[in-house]
Homo-oligomer: A and B are copies of this chain.
């Protein structure tokens, strides 16, 4: 793979997007909408897990609740008959992705998905660089690491093409993974 070239090309294209104010979550949700509209993949973001504390069931109103630490990842679904599961994170760092951004049990969950024959990965956007990577979970070794350097993503990950629609065409990378 011709990484340096692809990287420069993508980098330049993305510079313009840097301050457009679209979050990674927005981009992924909109891409998933696109995939569903064209019946390519069925992938959803899971709702945010909460603990209910005070509920007015009569009026369907929650008066008190707390955010819970999620047991799994944010996104899952199906593509070409395969189970897909991933977590997506942004970082402002230009040099590495701090692993504090992902819960250890989320990594464990993804490794377990891989073991069961599913496709598990993380999507990481380096906001200041305007580059978004997909890194397969079986390439992710977190032993004694505090962060994953950008160079690691360049070597073992895939740059996700960005565009108008879908904004983040990550299933194109999954196609590559399925070819192997």
Instruction: Report A's interface with B, CB cutoff 8 A.
Output: 39, 41-42, 44, 46-50, 60-68, 70-72, 76-83, 85, 109, 112-113, 115-118
Copies of this chain held together in the complex: 2
Residues of B within 8 A of A113 (CB): 42, 78
Contact A78 B83 (CB under 8 A): yes
State the Cβ distance, A86 to closest chain B Cβ, in Å.
13
Residues of B within 8 A of A83 (CB): 77-78, 81-83, 118
Cα-based distance from A67 to B57 in the complex (angstroms): 9
Q: Which of B44, B50, B71, B79 contacts A44 (CB 8 A)?
A: B71
The closest CB in chain B to the CB of A46 belongs to: B46
Contact A112 B42 (CB under 8 A): yes
Contact B62 A65 (CB under 8 A): yes
The closest CB in chain B to the CB of A52 belongs to: B48
A61-B64, A63-B63, A109-B42 known; A117 vs B80 contact (CB < 8 Å):
yes
